[in-house]
Amino acid sequence: MTTCNNEQSPSTAPSIEVAAGSGVCFGVRRALELAEMALAEGQAVYCLGALIHNPQEVARLAGKGFRVISSLDEVAAGDGTLLVRSHGLAPDVVAEARRRGMRIIDATCPLVRRVQTLAVEMQQAGYHVVLAGDEAHPEVRAIQGHAPATVVVGDIEAARRLELAGRVALVSQTTFSPEEFREIAAEIVRRDLAEIRVLNTICAATVDRQRAAAELAGRVDVMFVIGGRNSANTNRLAELCGARGVETYHVEQADEVTADQLSGRRRVGLAAGASTPQWIIQAVCDRIRALQSPPR
Ligand code: F3S
């Protein structure tokens, strides 16, 4: 459970509430634990792309010898371990790393693995697989690596343009918007197709986190959404909170919170993306408490 630990405050003190489910999800936590275990063995550990969309946590791991790379060519032959991050990787990339002598630790989130498996099974069963997601997202690219004929649609407009025939199976990126998924599913279901299967593979942790953040945003005076600016799910949380009409600030770290942002605000809400560790949430809580404390 995510908490905002603070000293006992008088009932008149401004309140800080953290939205339920904020912070690192189970898939990212598992990947971080596997990374820490490999680093503890004293090996060089490499990751293709950021393990976690949080610059502060990436910097902390880098201090222990964790290396983010953009190509296997950056690694000397036979050197170290490749950690497959929670987004997964295409099988040919993993095979190439093995061929180069790297040890593989697979931290693909089990929920992402499920989408990969479903896409492969559906394709093998003769379905045209449609994936609702962002085609540039690494999770989506990895799913396409497993099931290459998968067609990606990013929004309802793209779904309307799709030419489909025969049997179709719709799946989704785990962090896709549930509302947009429903729209896309409705668009496909109304088509005259031989068979349509709609497999909602959106991660429940994402849905619950978004719902809790939006609910909290509806009853506070100001919201702070904590997480990497390159984190799609954090940006989405900020969007949802802002849409509730409350002043919303997306911050990566505690020192971005200012006294001006808190001025006159008694109820403060916090939410954090799936890549935001508890220590950063706590640092933001501490910063808000410090700024709220009247000068002595
Ligand atoms: Fe997995 Fe859901 Fe996190 S898919 S990586 S538990 S956001």
* DSSP string computed for 284-295: HHHHHHHHHSPP
Sign of the alpha-carbon dihedral angle for 13, 287, 35, 96: positive
Cα separation, 6 vs 26, in Å, equals: 25
Residue nearest to atom 1 of ligand 1 (CA): 27
The pTM of the full predicted model, rounded to 2 decimals, is: 0.84
State if residue 205 touches ligand 1 by the CB under 6 angstroms criterion. yes
Model pLDDT, residue 13 = 64
Cβ atoms of 228 and 252 within 8 Å: the answer is yes
Q: Is residue 179 flagged as an active site residue?
A: no
Model pLDDT, residue 55 = 78
State if residue 86 touches ligand 1 by the CB under 6 angstroms criterion. yes
CATH number of 111-202: 3.40.1010.20
Model pLDDT, residue 1 = 47
DSSP code at position 14? P
Catalytic residue among 57, 139, 187, 195: 139
State if residue 111 touches ligand 1 by the CB under 6 angstroms criterion. yes
Same fold flag, 15-24+205-292 and 111-202 = yes
Cβ-defined contacts of 61-66 (< 8 Å, 24+): 61/32, 61/35, 64/36, 64/39, 65/39, 66/35, 66/39
Tell me the per-residue pLDDT of 160-190, one tens digit each, with 9 for 90 and over: 999 999 999 999 999 888 889 999 999 999 9
Residue nearest to atom 5 of ligand 1 (CA): 27
State if residue 144 touches ligand 1 by the CB under 6 angstroms criterion. no
Picking from 175, 99, 188, the residue whose alpha carbon sits closest to that of residue 137 is 175
Domain ranges of the chain: 15-24+205-292, 26-108, 111-202
State if residue 109 touches ligand 1 by the CB under 6 angstroms criterion. yes
Class of domain 15-24+205-292: alpha beta
Report whether CATH 2.30.140.10 matches the domain 26-108: no
Tell me the per-residue pLDDT of 38-86, one tens digit each, with 9 for 90 and over: 999 988 899 999 888 777 888 889 999 999 999 999 998 777 899 999 9
3-state SS, residue 153: strand
Ligand 1 nearest atom to the CA of residue 25, by list position: 3
Ligand 1 nearest atom to the CA of residue 110, by list position: 1
> Which residues, at least 6 apart from 93, have a Cβ–Cβ distance to it below 8 Å?
48, 72, 145
